[in-house]
Amino acid sequence: MNFVEETVSILEELYRHGWDERNGGNLSYIIEEKEVKDFLKEEKILRTYHYDFDMSSIVGKYFLITGTGKYFKNCKRDPETNLGLFKILDKNTIGLLWGLKDGGGPTSEAPTHLSCHIERLKVDPLHRLVIHCHPTNIICMSHVHPLDEASWARDLWKMQTESIVVFPEGIGVLPWMLCGGIKIGEATAKKMKEYRAAVWSQHGLFSTGRNLDEVYGLIETIEKAAEIYMKISGMKIYSEISNENLKELAEFFKVNYKKGVID
Protein backbone atom coordinates (compact mmCIF):
# COMPACT_ATOMS: atom_id res chain seq x y z
CA MET A 1 0.00 0.00 0.00
CA ASN A 2 1.50 3.38 -1.00
CA PHE A 3 1.17 6.67 0.90
CA VAL A 4 -1.86 7.79 -1.12
CA GLU A 5 -3.78 4.57 -0.36
CA GLU A 6 -2.84 4.78 3.34
CA THR A 7 -3.95 8.40 3.53
CA VAL A 8 -7.23 7.76 1.74
CA SER A 9 -8.09 5.00 4.24
CA ILE A 10 -7.74 7.48 7.13
CA LEU A 11 -9.71 10.18 5.31
CA GLU A 12 -12.49 7.62 4.82
CA GLU A 13 -12.52 6.85 8.55
CA LEU A 14 -12.64 10.54 9.47
CA TYR A 15 -15.59 11.07 7.12
CA ARG A 16 -17.48 8.02 8.42
CA HIS A 17 -17.11 9.25 12.00
CA GLY A 18 -18.86 12.48 10.94
CA TRP A 19 -15.78 14.56 11.71
CA ASP A 20 -15.33 15.91 8.16
CA GLU A 21 -18.72 16.77 6.73
CA ARG A 22 -19.00 18.24 3.23
CA ASN A 23 -15.59 19.83 2.47
CA GLY A 24 -14.82 20.34 6.16
CA GLY A 25 -11.34 19.36 7.30
CA ASN A 26 -7.96 18.98 5.64
CA LEU A 27 -4.73 17.00 5.84
CA SER A 28 -1.05 17.47 5.05
CA TYR A 29 1.51 14.68 5.21
CA ILE A 30 5.30 14.85 4.79
CA ILE A 31 6.29 12.20 2.22
CA GLU A 32 9.82 10.82 2.13
CA GLU A 33 11.82 11.37 -1.07
CA LYS A 34 12.15 7.62 -1.70
CA GLU A 35 8.38 7.21 -1.48
CA VAL A 36 7.94 10.00 -4.03
CA LYS A 37 10.45 8.47 -6.42
CA ASP A 38 8.67 5.11 -6.17
CA PHE A 39 5.34 6.82 -6.84
CA LEU A 40 6.21 9.19 -9.71
CA LYS A 41 7.82 8.30 -13.04
CA GLU A 42 9.30 11.79 -13.24
CA GLU A 43 9.31 14.90 -11.08
CA LYS A 44 7.58 17.65 -13.06
CA ILE A 45 6.10 20.86 -11.65
CA LEU A 46 2.53 21.20 -12.91
CA ARG A 47 1.53 24.43 -11.10
CA THR A 48 2.94 26.67 -8.38
CA TYR A 49 1.37 28.44 -5.41
CA HIS A 50 2.84 31.32 -3.41
CA TYR A 51 2.51 32.14 0.30
CA ASP A 52 3.58 35.21 2.24
CA PHE A 53 5.48 33.50 5.03
CA ASP A 54 8.93 31.97 5.34
CA MET A 55 9.15 28.25 4.49
CA SER A 56 12.96 28.18 4.28
CA SER A 57 13.29 25.39 6.87
CA ILE A 58 11.18 22.95 4.81
CA VAL A 59 12.46 23.73 1.30
CA GLY A 60 12.88 20.48 -0.63
CA LYS A 61 10.34 18.54 1.42
CA TYR A 62 7.36 16.81 -0.18
CA PHE A 63 3.78 17.06 1.12
CA LEU A 64 0.55 15.26 0.28
CA ILE A 65 -2.19 17.86 0.84
CA THR A 66 -5.97 17.72 0.47
CA GLY A 67 -7.46 20.10 -2.08
CA THR A 68 -9.52 23.20 -1.44
CA GLY A 69 -13.26 22.57 -1.49
CA LYS A 70 -12.76 18.81 -1.72
CA TYR A 71 -14.94 16.29 0.12
CA PHE A 72 -13.19 13.57 2.12
CA LYS A 73 -15.93 11.15 1.05
CA ASN A 74 -14.72 11.43 -2.56
CA CYS A 75 -11.03 10.77 -1.90
CA LYS A 76 -11.31 6.97 -2.02
CA ARG A 77 -13.15 7.05 -5.35
CA ASP A 78 -10.92 9.66 -6.99
CA PRO A 79 -7.74 10.49 -5.05
CA GLU A 80 -6.06 12.15 -8.03
CA THR A 81 -8.72 14.87 -8.13
CA ASN A 82 -9.01 15.43 -4.40
CA LEU A 83 -5.37 15.23 -3.27
CA GLY A 84 -2.17 16.90 -4.41
CA LEU A 85 1.49 16.00 -4.00
CA PHE A 86 3.60 19.14 -3.56
CA LYS A 87 7.25 20.07 -3.19
CA ILE A 88 8.45 23.16 -1.31
CA LEU A 89 10.43 24.96 -4.01
CA ASP A 90 11.65 28.03 -2.14
CA LYS A 91 10.80 30.05 0.96
CA ASN A 92 7.52 31.29 -0.53
CA THR A 93 6.57 28.76 -3.24
CA ILE A 94 5.18 25.24 -3.42
CA GLY A 95 4.91 23.24 -6.65
CA LEU A 96 2.30 20.63 -7.59
CA LEU A 97 3.81 17.33 -8.81
CA TRP A 98 0.72 15.11 -8.93
CA GLY A 99 -3.03 15.27 -8.33
CA LEU A 100 -5.70 18.00 -8.30
CA LYS A 101 -6.26 17.06 -11.93
CA ASP A 102 -9.39 19.23 -12.19
CA GLY A 103 -7.26 22.37 -11.78
CA GLY A 104 -7.94 22.81 -8.08
CA GLY A 105 -5.47 24.07 -5.51
CA PRO A 106 -4.36 23.03 -2.03
CA THR A 107 -6.66 23.57 0.95
CA SER A 108 -7.10 27.19 2.02
CA GLU A 109 -5.64 26.08 5.37
CA ALA A 110 -2.35 25.06 3.71
CA PRO A 111 -0.44 28.03 5.21
CA THR A 112 -1.63 27.00 8.69
CA HIS A 113 -0.66 23.38 8.03
CA LEU A 114 2.80 24.28 6.74
CA SER A 115 3.39 26.68 9.63
CA CYS A 116 2.47 23.87 12.05
CA HIS A 117 4.85 21.48 10.30
CA ILE A 118 7.65 24.01 10.64
CA GLU A 119 7.09 24.34 14.39
CA ARG A 120 6.55 20.63 15.10
CA LEU A 121 9.73 19.67 13.22
CA LYS A 122 11.66 21.89 15.63
CA VAL A 123 10.22 19.88 18.53
CA ASP A 124 10.19 16.44 16.91
CA PRO A 125 12.37 15.68 13.84
CA LEU A 126 10.24 12.57 13.18
CA HIS A 127 7.04 14.62 12.86
CA ARG A 128 5.19 14.10 9.55
CA LEU A 129 1.45 14.76 9.74
CA VAL A 130 -1.18 17.44 10.41
CA ILE A 131 -4.92 16.70 10.35
CA HIS A 132 -7.68 19.26 10.83
CA CYS A 133 -11.17 17.88 11.46
CA HIS A 134 -14.49 18.77 13.11
CA PRO A 135 -15.13 16.33 15.99
CA THR A 136 -18.65 16.96 17.29
CA ASN A 137 -18.03 16.78 21.03
CA ILE A 138 -14.88 18.90 20.92
CA ILE A 139 -16.94 21.61 19.24
CA CYS A 140 -19.74 21.16 21.80
CA MET A 141 -17.26 21.42 24.66
CA SER A 142 -15.84 24.67 23.29
CA HIS A 143 -19.33 26.21 23.72
CA VAL A 144 -19.75 25.28 27.39
CA HIS A 145 -16.25 25.00 28.85
CA PRO A 146 -13.95 27.91 29.81
CA LEU A 147 -11.25 28.36 27.18
CA ASP A 148 -8.47 27.70 29.66
CA GLU A 149 -5.83 25.15 28.66
CA ALA A 150 -5.08 23.88 32.16
CA SER A 151 -8.75 23.12 32.89
CA TRP A 152 -9.25 21.52 29.46
CA ALA A 153 -6.30 19.22 30.10
CA ARG A 154 -7.44 18.36 33.62
CA ASP A 155 -11.06 17.72 32.65
CA LEU A 156 -10.21 15.64 29.58
CA TRP A 157 -7.62 13.62 31.52
CA LYS A 158 -10.22 12.83 34.19
CA MET A 159 -12.78 11.53 31.71
CA GLN A 160 -11.00 8.26 30.96
CA THR A 161 -7.88 6.37 31.97
CA GLU A 162 -6.22 6.65 28.55
CA SER A 163 -6.26 10.44 28.20
CA ILE A 164 -3.18 11.43 30.20
CA VAL A 165 -1.24 8.58 28.61
CA VAL A 166 -2.12 9.60 25.04
CA PHE A 167 -1.82 13.40 25.39
CA PRO A 168 0.18 14.07 28.59
CA GLU A 169 1.19 17.51 27.38
CA GLY A 170 -2.45 18.60 27.43
CA ILE A 171 -4.16 20.43 24.59
CA GLY A 172 -3.94 23.91 23.11
CA VAL A 173 -7.11 26.00 23.04
CA LEU A 174 -7.83 28.97 20.79
CA PRO A 175 -10.87 31.27 20.92
CA TRP A 176 -13.05 31.57 17.83
CA MET A 177 -11.01 33.09 14.99
CA LEU A 178 -11.62 33.59 11.28
CA CYS A 179 -10.40 30.44 9.52
CA GLY A 180 -8.21 30.38 6.43
CA GLY A 181 -6.22 33.47 7.35
CA ILE A 182 -2.73 34.34 8.51
CA LYS A 183 -3.82 35.24 12.05
CA ILE A 184 -5.26 31.83 12.93
CA GLY A 185 -2.31 30.13 11.22
CA GLU A 186 0.20 32.02 13.34
CA ALA A 187 -1.78 31.37 16.53
CA THR A 188 -2.09 27.64 15.80
CA ALA A 189 1.59 27.26 14.92
CA LYS A 190 2.48 28.96 18.20
CA LYS A 191 0.44 26.36 20.10
CA MET A 192 2.32 23.59 18.28
CA LYS A 193 5.52 24.59 20.06
CA GLU A 194 3.99 23.01 23.17
CA TYR A 195 1.11 20.78 22.09
CA ARG A 196 0.37 18.16 19.42
CA ALA A 197 -3.29 19.15 19.27
CA ALA A 198 -5.14 22.45 19.43
CA VAL A 199 -8.85 23.22 19.65
CA TRP A 200 -10.35 25.80 17.34
CA SER A 201 -13.35 26.90 19.38
CA GLN A 202 -16.72 26.39 17.69
CA HIS A 203 -14.85 24.89 14.73
CA GLY A 204 -12.73 21.78 15.34
CA LEU A 205 -9.33 20.33 16.11
CA PHE A 206 -5.81 20.55 14.68
CA SER A 207 -3.76 17.43 15.47
CA THR A 208 -0.19 16.45 14.62
CA GLY A 209 2.16 13.49 14.91
CA ARG A 210 4.58 11.05 13.32
CA ASN A 211 2.21 8.88 11.29
CA LEU A 212 -1.41 8.33 10.32
CA ASP A 213 -2.24 5.88 13.11
CA GLU A 214 -0.74 8.12 15.80
CA VAL A 215 -2.63 11.24 14.75
CA TYR A 216 -5.91 9.42 14.09
CA GLY A 217 -5.59 7.78 17.51
CA LEU A 218 -4.91 11.15 19.13
CA ILE A 219 -8.08 12.60 17.58
CA GLU A 220 -10.13 9.55 18.64
CA THR A 221 -8.92 9.77 22.24
CA ILE A 222 -9.48 13.51 22.64
CA GLU A 223 -12.92 13.33 21.03
CA LYS A 224 -13.98 10.36 23.17
CA ALA A 225 -12.92 12.22 26.33
CA ALA A 226 -14.94 15.23 25.16
CA GLU A 227 -17.94 12.99 24.46
CA ILE A 228 -17.82 11.58 28.00
CA TYR A 229 -17.53 15.13 29.37
CA MET A 230 -20.57 16.28 27.43
CA LYS A 231 -22.62 13.24 28.48
CA ILE A 232 -21.95 13.57 32.22
CA SER A 233 -21.62 17.33 32.49
CA GLY A 234 -24.17 18.64 34.98
CA MET A 235 -24.74 15.24 36.54
CA LYS A 236 -23.88 14.34 40.12
CA ILE A 237 -20.49 12.62 40.12
CA TYR A 238 -20.05 9.78 42.62
CA SER A 239 -16.68 8.49 41.45
CA GLU A 240 -13.89 10.06 39.43
CA ILE A 241 -10.22 9.79 38.50
CA SER A 242 -8.40 11.84 41.13
CA ASN A 243 -5.30 13.96 40.68
CA GLU A 244 -3.34 11.29 42.54
CA ASN A 245 -4.73 8.63 40.18
CA LEU A 246 -3.54 10.69 37.22
CA LYS A 247 -0.05 11.01 38.72
CA GLU A 248 -0.02 7.26 39.31
CA LEU A 249 -0.92 6.65 35.65
CA ALA A 250 1.77 9.03 34.45
CA GLU A 251 4.40 7.34 36.59
CA PHE A 252 3.37 3.82 35.55
CA PHE A 253 3.33 4.64 31.82
CA LYS A 254 6.42 6.87 32.12
CA VAL A 255 4.83 9.92 30.49
CA ASN A 256 5.89 13.47 31.26
CA TYR A 257 2.59 15.24 31.93
CA LYS A 258 2.17 19.02 31.83
CA LYS A 259 3.08 20.39 35.23
CA GLY A 260 0.79 22.84 37.01
CA VAL A 261 -2.41 21.14 35.85
CA ILE A 262 -2.92 18.61 38.64
CA ASP A 263 -0.03 19.53 41.00
Residues with catalytic annotation? Answer: 109
Instruction: Give CA separation, 25 vs 22, 179, 243, in Å.
Output: 9, 11, 34
Phi then psi for residue 90, to 5 deg, are: -155, -170
Which of 64, 67, 71, 63 is closest to 14 using CA atoms? 71
Q: What is the largest CA-CA distance in the chain?
A: 63
- What is the 8-class DSSP label of residue 236? P
DSSP string, 81-127: HHEEEEEEEETTEEEEEEE-TTS--B-TTHHHHHHHHHHHHHH-TT-
Taken in order 228, 200, 15, 197, is the CA torsion positive or negative? negative
**In this structure, are residues 173 and 145 in contact, taking their beta carbons and an 8 Å threshold?**
no
How far out from the chain centre does Cα 181 lie? 17
**In this structure, are residues 119 and 71 in contact, taking their beta carbons and an 8 Å threshold?**
no
> How far is the C-alpha of 245 from the C-alpha of 237, rounded, in Å?
16
DSSP string, 117-145: HHHHHHH-TT--EEEEE--HHHHHHHHHS
